[in-house]
Structure 1
Amino acid sequence: MNTYKIAVIPGDGIGKEVVPAAIEVLDSIAKLDGSFKFEWTYFPWGCDYYLEHGEMMPEDGLETLKQYDQIFLGAVGMPELVPDHISLWGLLIKIRRGMKQSINVRPAKLLAGLQSPLKNPQNFDITVVRENSEGEYSDSGGRIHTGEDGIAIQNAIFTRKSTERAMRYAFELAKSSRKHVTSATKSNGLTYSMPFWDEVFNVVKKDYPEIDTSVQHIDALAAFFVMKPQAFDIIVASNLFGDILTDLGGAIMGSIGIAPAANLNIEREYPSMFEPVHGSAPDIAGLGIANPIGQIWTGKMMLDFLGHYHAGTRILTAIEKTLSSGVKTGDLDGTATLEEVKNTVINYL
């Protein structure tokens, strides 16, 4: 039996509620499957930790995390007390960069039992592969002067290595999907970075002649997510474009609260980190009404990465049966509590 050591960072807000719920589901499928189990170690890092210690995580936090197989994260953020740029760069991005989690993967599909806000969603099933280490989120730039003479400079950095790595990961995913990759670009407006992105895509696609491709400008692509999401399979995008598209993906599913994500160290040299797309939702934290499905689905992605695809599929099936039975939280126009959703998923397992 495989035993996986998982570092758990519930973080802030509803993360402290949905993470324990998802862990119960994962322990349940592990027991039912019988070929693996989890050892969970909790770390109290996040905004509460910052308010007490002046840092989002200890100085040696990354070295501590390297001792674990994977990282299971809930949510980060308490904007009324800790500025977002401090909470984000002090924990989430620090882990992503320190663990070389260069690929972010976020699926968006029409789940059984869920009503999409789209009039005719046609069973869309999209996976966005987002370059996760540089691009528009590069920590390069600065500010000078103040007042009306103030200047802010934010540099977007694109390397051939990271761009190609994300694209090749997307093409490899497409082999076991519907064999189509769409590149998100904006080469008619960003005169250096996106033509470079397009050039690399044109080179990479030659190595995958069996995969159909298309190129879409990001503004049109956002519109097509609403108008014809069923037209897309695998989408590869830069850090910023992928971030925006995947929030839109959650919205067309019916709620940001159900969208999962994986930050992958595809070389498996360091642990990967699995986190839902939703934020800490401080307005409903502690009320027991948060939607745990995003965190549970994120656990399914962790199982997939560990090679337990059958167990992961069973979790997604249980999620869909739960939704189809009408057990839904308020963000999905239901009346169920977090506890009721979690228990129903486990019952279906």
Structure 2
Amino acid sequence: MWNGTRSRDKMLADALSVRIKLKPECLDTTVAANFPADILSDLAGAPGAVLALAPTANIDPEQLYPVTIEPIHGSAFDIAGKGISNTVATFWAIVQTFEHRGDREAADRLLESVQTATTSGAMIRDLGGTVASREITNAVHEAIREAAR
């Protein structure tokens, strides 16, 4: 049982998948090789019912290779140009990029702006809304401008 303290556990990917399903609140950061991490990050988005919201990061701890931070859903060529992609996951990936670079202020500002925009009604179709991608992006930009005033 998780008691609210930070701890580290080592486990196989199949055991972690059970923990993601049964007790997602006890996880903060998961470190894994690329292939199992890809599967686990997809699974991690599932408890929230919308896979399209979660970001994922591929970070080489030895810093030999570049960092890749992106929305879990990846590229969606089938919906390109239709104005229906979920830009919230992209904004969260940018938040994660700011965090990785150590810019907590920028990460917090962007995350608050995304929350302001979405709680004000800027919801894409896969979140139950009817707003187009550009409108969500514009709402986040406006929230950033408002926060800066």
**TM-score (ref. length: structure 1):** 0.37
Q: Aligned-pair distance for 1:270?
A: 5.5
* Distance across 1 between alignment mates of 2:68 and 2:27: 26
Q: Which has the higher contact order (CA 8 A, sep 6+)?
A: 1
In the other structure, the counterpart of 2:102 is 307
Counterpart pick for 2:7 among 160, 180, 186? 180
What's 1:318 paired with? 113
Identity percentage over the alignment? 35
Query: Which amino acid counterpart does residue 56 of structure 2 have in structure 1?
Result: A
In the alignment, the residues of structure 1 paired with residue 129 and residue 23 of structure 2 have an alpha-carbon distance, to the nearest angstrom, of: 27
From 120, 136, 140, the counterpart of 1:345? 140
Q: Deviations over 1:26-60 (max 9, x none)?
A: xxxxxxxxxxxxxxxxxxxxxxxxxxxxxxxxxxx
**Cα distance in 2 between the residues matched to 1:222 and 1:241:** 10
Residue 82 of structure 2 corresponds to residue 255 of structure 1: no
Size of the alignment, in residue pairs?
141
| 1:281 aligned residue | 76
After superposition, the Cα gap between the structure-2 partners of 1:224 and 1:268, relative to the gap in structure 1 and judged at 3 Å, is: closer
User: How big is the shift at 1:269?
Assistant: 5.7
Larger Rg: 1
Assess, with a 3 A threshold, how the Cα gap between structure 1 residues 272 and 279 changes in structure 2: closer, same or farther.
closer
Task: Please list every run of 5 or more consecutive structure 1 residues that lacks an aligned counterpart in the other structure.
Answer: 1-176, 186-217
Work out whether residues 261 and 275 of structure 1, in 8 Å CA contact, stay in contact via their aligned partners in 2: yes
Q: 1:280 to 1:239 in 2, by over 3 A?
A: closer
| Matching of residues 185-334 of structure 1 within 5 Å | 185=12, 218-268=13-63, 271-334=66-129
**Residue pair 2:69, 2:96 contacting (<8 A) in 1 also:** yes
Q: Name the SS for the 2:10 alignment partner.
A: strand
Task: State the Cα deviation string for residues 267-309 of structure 1 (Å, max 9, x = none).
Answer: 5566433322113223322101100111111112222222211
Residues 268 and 279 of structure 1: is their aligned pair in 2 closer, same or farther, counting only changes over 3 Å? closer
The superposition leaves residues 241-260 of structure 1 with CA deviations (integer Å, 9 ceiling, x where unpaired) of 32211101122223222221
Cα distance in 1 for partners of 2:54, 2:24 equals: 16
**3-state DSSP of counterpart to 1:283:** helix
> Matches of 1:305 and 1:219 in 2, distance apart?
27
Q: For 1:113-192, list aligned pairs within 5 A.
A: 178-185=5-12
Question: Following the alignment from structure 2 to structure 1, what is the Cα–Cα distance between the partners of residues 124 and 17?
Answer: 27
In the other structure, the counterpart of 1:140 is: none
Give 2:147's aligned residue: none
RMSD: 2.4
CA distance 1:307–1:231, change in 2 (3 Å): closer
Task: Give deviations 1:109-144, integer Å, cap 9, x for gaps.
Answer: xxxxxxxxxxxxxxxxxxxxxxxxxxxxxxxxxxxx
Structure 2 residue matching 1:235: 3-state secondary structure: coil
1:332 Cα deviation after fit: 1.0
1:4 equivalent in structure 2:
none
| Greater helix share, structure number | 2
SS of the residue aligned with 2:117? helix
Q: Conserved in 2, the CA contact under 8 Å of 1:182 and 1:232?
A: no
